[in-house]
């Protein structure tokens, strides 16, 4: 006899991002969205986290995937995009415009937004790095969305919390990332 399919009516949190969201180099179960799901469950929050991370994605590619995100009818979208734009030296205004449009599409669909701030390695000019970092603060203020000041806070540059590439967190690093995300996210959630 077939088991009945149970309808999952939990509100959706979509984690939209690049390899840092996808969990590059690790099993899906160790990515930050999976770690976030475990934290939410343990703390009594009834939400379902969807990992919409694609390794290598730029803000333009994330923007092109927005209909897929909207089709989930998310309550919250965590937007972690921009580092690949910066690493490729793309114009700051393009990154800002793409992230702004992503936020507008999320808000237009009734979703709350959490924006994940990022920085770049020190081999870029200081003015480019500062302009890049300012994108996130400016957009959070403009659209009145929650901001994670630095997505990899407490993880970046710590060898024991990253894969050998020194860029992507390992499972222990993603646990810290998930905790950091939850600190900003939890005031938006209902139990």
Q: Decide the pairing of beta strands 146-148 and 48-53.
A: unpaired
For the annotated catalytic residues, the residue numbers are: 19, 165, 168
Of 94, 183, 92, 107, nearest to 144 (Cα)? Answer: 107
CA dihedral 179, 130, 168, 91 (to 10 degrees): 120
Of 92, 91, 95, 115, nearest to 103 (Cα)? Answer: 115
Q: Is 175 helix (H, G, I), strand (E, B) or coil?
A: helix
């Amino acid at each position: 006899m077939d088991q009945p399919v149970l309808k999952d009516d939990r509100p959706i949190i979509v984690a939209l991002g690049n390899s840092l969201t996808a969990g590059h180099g690790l099993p899906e179960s160790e990515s930050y969205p999976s770690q976030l799901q475990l934290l939410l469950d343990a703390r009594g929050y009834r939400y379902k986290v969807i990992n919409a991370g694609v390794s290598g994605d730029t803000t333009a590619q994330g923007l092109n995937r927005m209909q897929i995100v909207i089709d989930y009818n998310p309550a919250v979208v965590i937007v972690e995009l921009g580092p690949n734009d910066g690493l490729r030296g793309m114009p700051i205004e393009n990154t800002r415009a793409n992230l702004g449009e992503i936020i507008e599409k999320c808000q237009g669909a009734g979703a709350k937004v959490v924006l994940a701030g990022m920085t770049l390695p020190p081999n870029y000019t200081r003015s480019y790095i500062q302009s890049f970092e300012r994108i996130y603060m400016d957009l959070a203020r403009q659209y009145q969305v929650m901001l994670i000041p630095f997505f990899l806070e407490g993880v970046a540059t710590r060898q024991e919390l990253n894969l050998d590439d020194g860029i992507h967190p390992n499972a222990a690093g993603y646990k810290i990332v998930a905790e950091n995300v939850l600190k900003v996210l939890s005031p938006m959630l209902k139990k």
